[in-house]
Amino acid sequence: MPQPDESLPQVFVRPGESILVSVPMVLRTLLGSCVGIALRIPRLGIGALCHPMLPICPAGQGASLSTAAGRRYVDFAIRDLARQFDALGAHRGEVKAKLFGGGDVLAIYGDESRPTVGRLNCQAALRVLAEEDIDVVASSLGGECGVNIHFNTGTGEVLLKRHR
């Protein structure tokens, strides 16, 4: 894996977190069945990475959840960042998304016809990004292994390393 720019500050984004920055830095995370959604608005110099763990916020709980608790869910995390981008003057058409993770890293016993959490996370991310009019410009979703990602918010480059 090429090395990330070590001259930039680096922040590790933990499961259930979202980080939005307005200065170049490297946002890193480790993904299994979770999805990592890297968002960038070049005109404004804004980048964000969210690491939600579950696909959909339970019905009726969205309004009662704290923002920190809501960010565990793909739909909530994307919509929360979209609102923040709106407040900063972004236009949806200029927001570029890159998606990673959503792997089937946990063994499934019994009914293998049921979708896995990883697949559900991928489907939710793609659906909500489309609903929010955010373009997906790159993705590496699914598979059977975890991945490390390093997102350079200044350039938009994402380095990915698969764990076998």
CATH code for the domain of 143: 3.30.1330.200
pLDDT tens per residue across span 62-93: 567 889 999 999 999 999 999 999 999 999 99
pLDDT at 112 over 80: no
Instruction: Judge whether 5 lies within some domain.
Output: no
Strands, DSSP E only, in the chain?
A: 10-12, 18-21, 26-31, 35-41, 46-50, 96-101, 135-141, 147-152, 158-162
Domain span including residue 82: 10-162
* Number of domains forming the structure of the chain: 1
The model's pTM = 0.91
Instruction: Judge whether 76 lies within some domain.
Output: yes
Instruction: Judge whether 2 lies within some domain.
Output: no
Instruction: Judge whether 32 lies within some domain.
Output: yes
Give the other-Cβ count within 10 Å of 65's Cβ.
15
Instruction: Judge whether 137 lies within some domain.
Output: yes
